């Protein structure tokens, strides 16, 4: 499948590492690297923000980053963010996810995972690395009361379990429809039913529950 070109900007605080990552991004045929900067503060001042599709952000302070991303997304709703952070905590992961990032992995991940993440985000999908997903699944006692982990699949149909698995595997609506030989409209109906039955509001919530149910 051919990918349309995605215009990306790299945000990295260290010049030498930044250039190494920039060179890696330039080798992706579906990415056009249009700019580099050292921080999200500098990124927010770039004159060509409206022309950028993805910001690839390396950051050590995820808590602060989540606020900056939220503000930027309100001004530039078309922007997608892929965050690479160091050893995130459960609380920082939840804050960053709430800010609306499209991708989130640890920057110590293998390059194969970098590739999966950048591909997914460039295609308009959501991608969270394994370590990030494990942090999401570690809910506080208060969260567990409001969002109990399912212990059985009795209340989900076989088709709903299939949809849940594919959503958690980052399949698009169209790809799920093709995989299961059903219409896009039917996929969306199943997705809405899953939101209702599992008490979540988005694909991140479905993915977290899928991990805890062991369907992925």
Maximum mean pLDDT: which of 6-10, 65-69, 75-79, 163-167: 6-10
Domain 6-137 class in CATH: alpha beta
Q: What is the pLDDT of residue 198?
A: 74
Write out pLDDT tens, residues 41-90: 999 999 999 999 999 999 866 557 888 898 898 888 889 999 998 877 77
Q: What is the pLDDT of residue 127?
A: 85
Asked if the model's pLDDT at residue 141 lies above 90, the reply is no
Cβ–Cβ < 8 Å for 81, 61: no
- Cα gap 184→115, rounded to integer Å: 27
- The CATH code of the domain at 144-213 is 1.10.10.10
- Scored b (16 or more CB within 10 A) or e, 155-174 reads ebeeebebbbbbbbebbbbe
For residue 109, what are its two tokens? 């991940």
Helix, coil or strand: residue 166 = helix
When pLDDT is cut at 50, 70 and 90, the band that residue 144 belongs to is very low
Residue with more model confidence, 199 or 36:
36
146 CB neighbour count, 10 Å cutoff? 9
Maximum mean pLDDT: which of 104-113, 120-129, 193-202: 104-113
106 to each of 34, 80, 82, 175, how far by Cα in Å?
A: 23, 17, 11, 27
CATH 1.10.10.10 boundaries in the chain: 144-213
CATH 3.40.50.2300 boundaries in the chain: 6-137
Residue in 79, 80, 82 with CA at minimum distance from that of residue 128:
82
Over range 14-35, report the average pLDDT: 94
Q: What is the pLDDT of residue 62?
A: 56
């Amino acid at each position: 499948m051919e990918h349309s070109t995605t215009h990306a900007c790299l945000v990295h605080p260290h010049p030498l590492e930044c250039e190494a990552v920039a060179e890696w991004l330039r080798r992706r045929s579906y990415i056009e690297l249009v700019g580099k900067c050292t921080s999200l503060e500098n990124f927010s001042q770039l004159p060509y923000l409206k022309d950028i599709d993805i910001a690839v952000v390396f950051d050590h302070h995820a808590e602060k980053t989540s606020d900056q991303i939220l503000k930027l997304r309100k001004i530039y709703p078309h922007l997608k963010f892929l965050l690479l952070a160091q050893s995130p905590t459960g609380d920082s992961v939840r804050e960053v996810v709430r800010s609306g990032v499209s991708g989130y992995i640890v920057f110590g991940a293998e390059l194969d995972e970098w590739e999966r993440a950048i591909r997914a985000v460039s295609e308009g999908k959501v991608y969270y690395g394994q370590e990030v997903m494990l942090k999401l699944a570690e809910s506080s006692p208060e969260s567990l009361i409001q969002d109990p982990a399912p212990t059985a699949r009795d209340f989900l149909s076989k088709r709903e379990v299939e949809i849940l698995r594919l959503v958690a595997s980052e399949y698009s609506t169209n790809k799920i429809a093709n995989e299961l030989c059903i219409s896009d409209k039917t996929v969306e109906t199943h997705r809405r039913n899953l939101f209702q039955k599992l008490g979540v509001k988005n694909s991140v919530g479905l993915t977290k529950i899928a991990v805890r149910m062991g369907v992925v």
